[in-house]
Amino acid sequence: MLGLKAFPAAVLGGFGSIPGAVVGGVLIGMIESMAGFYLAEGWKDVAPYIVLLVVLLLKPDGLFGLHMRKKV
């Protein structure tokens, strides 16, 4: 279960970016704890994923990910 939180953390920050992984990990952890405290029960487990989906919608390569050009 812990590994399943680590993956979103790395992806949130941007895969391939080490500062991104740190920021992503802190963000996921903070969001999870804050949601557990302020929101109704049940939000704690899904809040990180909702935030992750929103971030991926706005920035498909994560927060600090580099956009890779693809050759054809």
What is the rounded distance in angstroms from the CA atom of residue 36 to the CA atom of residue 42?
Answer: 8
Which residues contact another protein (rule: CB under 8 A)? 4, 7-8, 11, 15, 42, 45-46, 49-50, 52-53, 56-57, 60-62, 70, 72
- Rounded to an integer, what is the distance from CA 67 to the centroid of its chain? 17
Select 18 or 50, whichever has its Cβ closest to another protein: 50
Q: How far is the CB of 40 from another protein (least distance, A)?
A: 9
From residue 35, how far is each of 19, 61, 69 by CA, in Å? 24, 25, 37
Give the whole-angstrom CA distance, residue 8 versus residue 50.
11
Smallest distance from the beta carbon of 72 to another protein, in angstroms?
A: 4
Shortest distance, position 65 Cβ to another protein, whole Å: 8
